[in-house]
Structure 1
Amino acid sequence: MGIFADRLKQAMQQANLTSAQLSKQTGIGRSSISQWLSNKYVAKHDKVVTLAGVLNVSPDWLVGTSDVATQPTPEAAPIPVAVTPT
C-alpha cells in the first residue's frame, strides 16, 4: 500500500474518524476518500491540506515527505516584531 493511504488510515484511526465522518468534516466526497484509502489515487495538495487540518497532522507527513506527524501549533511559532529605527 502507498504511504499516503497508510498515513491517512493511521491519522483517521488516531482521530477516531470514519471515512463518512471525515467526509462530513472536510466537505470532501466519501468516494474520493475511499479511493485514497484504497491507494487508487493520491489527493491533490489542497485536499491534503484540508485533511491534515481536520486530522491534526502535518500535510508533509501525510504525503510522506516528513517523518514529523504533528503540526506546529500557532502559539509555538515566534511572533515577528517590527523594529523601527529611532
Structure 2
Amino acid sequence: MDDIFRTNLENAINESGLTNAEIARRIGVGRSTITQWLKGVSSPTQSKIVKIAVTLNKEPSWFFIDNTKKQRVINNLTDKQLTLAMSVDPDITDEQLQQAINYVRFMKEQEDKKNDTNGKN
C-alpha cells in the first residue's frame, strides 16, 4: 500500500479514539497487524479494508484519497466560511449548490453596492 493509505489509516484511527487493539479485535486481526499496516510492512486485503472502513466510519475509497490538499483548504477557511459549508445538506445536488453560491455572491454584491451608495466603502 502507498503512503496515502497509511496516512489516512493513521488519521482515521486517531479521529476514532479507538486503540489499535480495539480496532484489531473488531476486524479480526492481531494488534501487531495494525502496526505492520501503519508502517507499510504489510497491506490489508480488500475484505479487511472494508472491515476497517466500517469500524472507523469511513468509506473504503476514503483511504485512497489524498486528503492533505483538502485539509489545507479547510484549515484556511474563516469561521464564517466554515459555518456556511457545514450548514449545507450533504445530499444537495450540484445545481442546488451552484444556486446557493450564486445567491450568496448576489447578496454580497447588493451589500457592497448599498455600502458604496452610503459612502461606507
Give TM-score, length-normalised by structure 2. 0.50
Confirm or deny: 8 A CA contact 1:52 1:58 kept in the other structure.
Answer: yes
Give, as a single letter, the amino acid of the residue that structure 2 aligns with 1:50. K
Measure the CA separation in 2 of the matches of 1:66 and 1:3: 6
TM-aligned CA deviation for residue 66 of structure 1: 7.6
Measure the CA separation in 2 of the matches of 1:19 and 1:3: 19
- Aligned partner of 1:61 in structure 2 is 62
Confirm or deny: 8 A CA contact 2:9 2:38 kept in the other structure.
Answer: yes
1:26 aligns with 2:18: no
- Aligned partner of 2:38 in structure 1 is 37
Measure the CA separation in 2 of the matches of 1:10 and 1:38: 14
Larger helix share, 1 or 2? 2
Give, as a single letter, the amino acid of the residue that structure 2 aligns with 1:28. V
Measure the CA separation in 1 of the matches of 2:8 and 2:58: 10
1:66/1:59 CA distance change after superposition, 3 Å? farther
The list of structure 1 runs, each at least 4 consecutive aligned residues, that deviate by more than 6 angstroms after superposition, is: none
Confirm or deny: 8 A CA contact 1:4 1:42 kept in the other structure.
Answer: no
- What secondary structure is seen at the aligned counterpart in 2 of 1:6? helix
| Matched pairs, number | 68
- What secondary structure is seen at the aligned counterpart in 2 of 1:5? helix
- Aligned partner of 2:6 in structure 1 is 5
Q: Which runs of 5+ in 2 are unaligned?
A: 68-90, 92-121
Give, as a single letter, the amino acid of the residue that structure 1 aligns with 2:57. N
Measure the CA separation in 1 of the matches of 2:65 and 2:10: 17
Supply the RMSD in Å over aligned alpha carbons.
2.2
1:17 aligns with 2:18: yes
TM-aligned CA deviation for residue 48 of structure 1: 0.1
Q: Which runs of 5+ in 1 are unaligned?
A: 68-75, 77-86
Percent identity, aligned pairs only, is 33
Higher Rg: 2
